[in-house]
């Protein structure tokens, strides 16, 4: 794929400097970009001075506003008022995506009752169950399985090896990375009598009597519902609900290796980073951000616009708009003060020891 600098600037709604007729064949880091040739060249991503130091004269680049292309000997440049947003548009323009040939591969197994939208592309060894609906322009990679009565909206991109369970509902423009599982059973079990877990929750740790227990499965007969523009990372798992559906709101992006348990409700435009675990029946508001390795306890509510820093462990309700950190989670500014105090503990302990020695000597002198 190749576009001209002028076409790219127009598509990115960015300002062009220099020769707009030069063809752009791709993008790369400045150190990897050579001067343009007769067929054009790579576009250097040099959106701050520290990257621009590696630019070669005669090349083309994206620069931040205020940088001087003449100083680097460039022949053309595009200015980015918000560099990462321009990066999003640029990478979208050059992302060819996975190789999924148009049409239906002859090895795919598709139930006769499934409804496949126009211009769908279905790769090798895909299995699509009874009553499944795929929207127009859906692209399904190799070895994907979609179970009965699932409904996937238009323009979905399902990468190889994804498993989508029965009755899952997804909106338009769904993206699922390799190996994700949507709609597996929730992890829900019960004992005939009060279990040890229930006892310690009631007593806050005290055990009256320890006895043998047998776990009986609570089956998951709910589904999973995903809104529009949802993205699911590689090897992430989203469990189906027990009775009602597990729900992920429109625009939410979920990273790799995330676990979303049964009955969880996630709001719109949330950002959930790698290795997050959200326990059953918890509710997240809109625009919640959970950084890597955050843990969310079961049956709690996290309000709109909450941001949780990395490795935060959330055990209780969090009000809207709060920024939290730590284990257990507290306001970020409180956690920073706690960390400062912890770092001072060795010095405080040493001072206390010396004070005790001084007091002891004074007492001995009488």
Is 105 catalytic? The answer is: no
Q: Which two tokens stand for residue 197?
A: 């877990």
Task: Look at strands 41-45 and 60-64 and give their pairing.
Answer: parallel
Burial degree of 105 (CB within 10 A; 0-12, 13-18, 19+): middle
SS3 353: helix
Q: Write down the H helix ranges in 95-236.
A: 196-203
* DSSP letter, residue 40: B
SS3 21: coil
2: nearest Cα among 23, 18, 28: 23
Task: Give the strand order in the sheet containing 76-80.
Answer: 3-4, 23-28, 41-45, 60-64, 76-80, 15-18
Tell me which H or E stretch contains 253.
Answer: strand 253-254
Question: For residues 356 and 345, what is the distance between their CA atoms, to the nearest angstrom?
Answer: 16
Q: Write down the H helix ranges in the chain.
A: 5-12, 49-52, 83-94, 196-203, 332-365
Question: Residue 253 to residues 164, 210, 264: CA-CA distances in angstroms?
Answer: 17, 43, 15
Phi/psi at 81 (nearest 5 deg)? -65, -30
Q: Which two tokens stand for residue 257?
A: 């290796």
313: nearest Cα among 293, 299, 341, 298: 293
Active-site residue, from 54, 214, 219, 262 = 262
Question: Residue 301 to residues 278, 282, 284, 317, 334: CA-CA distances in angstroms?
Answer: 11, 6, 6, 5, 21
Query: Does 328 sit behind a cis peptide bond, omega within 30 degrees of 0 on the bond before it?
Result: yes
CB 54 within 8 A of CB 31: yes
Question: For residues 63 and 59, what is the distance between their CA atoms, to the nearest angstrom?
Answer: 12
What residues are annotated to the active site? Answer: 262
């Amino acid at each position: 794929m190749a576009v001209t600098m002028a076409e790219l600037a127009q598509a990115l709604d960015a300002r062009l400097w220099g020769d707009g007729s030069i063809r752009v064949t791709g993008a790369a880091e400045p150190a990897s970009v050579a001067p343009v040739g007769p067929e054009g060249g790579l576009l250097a991503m040099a959106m701050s001075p520290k990257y621009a130091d590696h630019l070669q004269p005669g090349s083309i680049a994206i620069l931040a506003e205020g940088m001087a292309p003449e100083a680097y000997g460039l022949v053309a440049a595009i200015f980015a008022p918000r560099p990462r947003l321009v990066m999003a548009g640029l990478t979208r323009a050059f992302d060819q995506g996975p190789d999924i040939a148009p049409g239906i591969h002859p090895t795919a197994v598709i139930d006769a009752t499934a409804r496949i939208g126009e211009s769908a592309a279905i790769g090798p060894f895909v299995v699509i169950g009874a009553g499944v609906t795929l929207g127009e322009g859906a692209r399904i990679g190799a070895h994907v399985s979609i179970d009965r009565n699932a409904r996937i909206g238009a323009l979905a991109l399902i990468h190889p090896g994804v498993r989508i369970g029965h009755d899952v509902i997804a909106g338009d423009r769904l993206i699922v990375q390799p190996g994700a599982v949507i709609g597996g059973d929730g992890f829900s079990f019960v004992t005939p009598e009060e279990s040890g877990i229930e006892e310690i929750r009631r007593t806050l740790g005290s055990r009256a009597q320890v006895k043998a227990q047998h776990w009986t499965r609570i089956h998951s007969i709910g589904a999973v519902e995903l809104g529009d523009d949802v993205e699911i990372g590689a090897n992430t798992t989203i469990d189906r609900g027990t009775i009602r559906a597990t729900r992920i709101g429109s625009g939410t992006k979920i990273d790799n290796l995330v676990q979303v348990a049964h009955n969880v409700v996630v709001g719109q435009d949330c950002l959930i980073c790698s290795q997050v675990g959200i326990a059953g029946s918890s509710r997240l508001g809109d625009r919640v951000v959970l950084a890597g390795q955050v843990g969310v306890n079961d049956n709690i509510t996290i309000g709109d616009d909450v941001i949780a820093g990395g490795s935060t462990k959330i055990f209780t309700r969090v009000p809207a708009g709060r920024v939290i950190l730590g284990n257990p989670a507290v306001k970020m500014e409180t956690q920073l003060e706690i960390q400062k105090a912890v770092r001072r503990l060795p010095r405080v302990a040493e001072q206390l020891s010396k004070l005790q020695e001084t007091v002891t000597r004074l007492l001995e002198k009488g």
